[in-house]
Amino acid sequence: MLAIGLALSQVAPGRATMATPFVIQFDGQPLWLGNGAIMHVLATWFAPGVLGETPVLLHPLALAGWLGLFVTALNLLPLGQLDGGHILYALLPKHQGKVARLFMLALFPLGFLWWGWWAWALLIALLHRGRINHPPVVQAEESIGRARRTLGWLLVAIFFLTFVPVPLNI
């Protein structure tokens, strides 16, 4: 869907940056969208124009794909009860708390690039009642097996491929 949407997208007038090469029109106002690794590769192959130089006015299918990647990255943050927290706990149960604290701390400097990271950090802290460590499990000593471990590391890679440091710029 994302590749088709990018192919149906158009070049918009103006100048883009590599950090925010995509634009949508929202009630006549431009809303610039950021660029993650997967989006960058697909846009290089399918989108019109020169990525980072000419703005790409996203087709609604491409916008839906971009939003799907963004929500996936948010869900894969390795914090508490988010899916990323469960995955990291399954892969590295003894280190999940340290990694979660590092990611939570990383959201604060990222907030200087996009204020929304501060909002997400606050929301995650409130919803998890200040606890970002994974809660204890019933059978902590049970191994997840090689296939699930491989799938877990694949999902960690997907997080880094879908993460966008500056998702929106108005």
Percent of the chain with pLDDT over 90: 52
For residues 125 and 132, the answer to whether their CB atoms sit within 8 Å is yes
CB-count burial class (<10 Å; 0-12, 13-18, 19+) for 118: middle
Q: Which residues of 6-19 are buried (b: 16+ CB within 10 A; e: fewer)?
A: beebeebeeebeee
pTM for this model (two decimals): 0.88
For residues 155 and 87, the answer to whether their CB atoms sit within 8 Å is yes
Question: What is the domain partition of the chain in residue ranges?
Answer: 2-72, 76-163
Phi first, then psi: what are they for 19, rounded to 5°?
A: -70, -35
Of 158, 156, 98, residue with least CA distance to 132: 98
Question: pLDDT tens-digit profile of 59-102?
Answer: 999 999 999 999 999 999 998 788 999 999 999 988 888 998 89
Q: How far apart are CA 66 and CA 83, in angstroms?
A: 19
Q: How far apart are CA 138 and CA 142, in angstroms?
A: 9
Residue 138: pLDDT band with limits 50, 70, 90: confident
**N residues, the chain:** 170
- Asked whether residue 130 carries a pLDDT value surpassing 80, the answer given is no
For residues 85 and 127, the answer to whether their CB atoms sit within 8 Å is no
Residue 46: pLDDT band with limits 50, 70, 90: very high
